[in-house]
Amino acid sequence: MELDKLYNAILNQDVEGAVKIAEACLKAGIEPLRALDHASEAIRQVGDLYGRSEIFLPQVVLSAEAIKKVADVLLKKVPRKKRGEKAKFIIGTVEGDIHDIGKSIVATMLEAQGFDVIDLGRDVAAEKFVEAVKKHKPAFVGCSALMTTTAIAQREVIDALKEAGVRDDVKVMVGGGATTELHAKEIGADEWGADAMDAVVKAKRLLASRTCLLKK
């Protein structure tokens, strides 16, 4: 199956092979977001292997390059609804963390579902999140962290939102390879996204509950 081949190509650092398989997935009529979900599973497995010292940094870098090129192929085929149809969603990778592939996939999937996404990029300071909230008045703030050493910065974003008096105005979602549902609860986030698809599902659920409250 093409999706299994894509997973294995990324896991085995086969950059050129992964790109060809991604193109084959599209030709076979496989939804690009479904293929991206499998690619994301592979990169999470790479992170787990690295955490257990079963692979080394050069291998992680090659797998990351593979998923980046795969995402470039697949994201071009993701249909996007008109911006502004739904709530604004500010998203960014926290300060000290330069990994943005997963965050970019989440942003694209949110846009595909009609969210008005403002992507702040990577290595974003807590103050920048606050400035963006004050400027754009979003319904959501999403903070990504791939490294354990930078996951603490997600708490700093939430604390900064509190200090600025805007925490209650937004739903905060966190995610990334360094995070867990327990971590999200401990830092006071509203939700945790296990992966890109999970993040979108939970954002839509939060949006639905927020809309119901506004109507009361």
pLDDT at 56: 85
CA atoms within 13 A on the CB side of 108: 20
Closest CA relative to residue 23, chosen from 80, 79, 70: 70
User: Is there a shared CATH topology between the 2-75 domain and the 88-215 domain?
Assistant: no
Question: In degrees rounded to 5, what are phi and psi of residue 119?
Answer: -95, 115
Q: List per-residue pLDDT tens for the chain, 216 residues long.
A: 899 999 999 999 999 999 999 999 999 999 988 898 888 788 778 877 876 889 887 888 888 888 888 988 988 887 765 544 468 999 999 999 887 777 888 887 888 788 999 999 999 999 999 999 999 999 999 999 988 888 999 999 999 999 999 999 999 999 988 899 999 999 999 999 988 878 989 999 998 886 544 444
Assign a CATH topology to domain 2-75: 1.10.1240
Residue 39, classified by CB atoms within 10 Å of its CB into exposed (0-12), middle (13-18) or buried (19+), is buried
How far is the C-alpha of 5 from the C-alpha of 38, rounded, in Å?
Answer: 10
Q: Which CATH number applies to 88-215?
A: 3.40.50.280
pLDDT at 103: 87
- Continuous segment of H or E residues that includes residue 91: strand 88-93
What is this structure's pTM? 0.73
Q: What are the domain boundaries of the chain? A: 2-75, 88-215
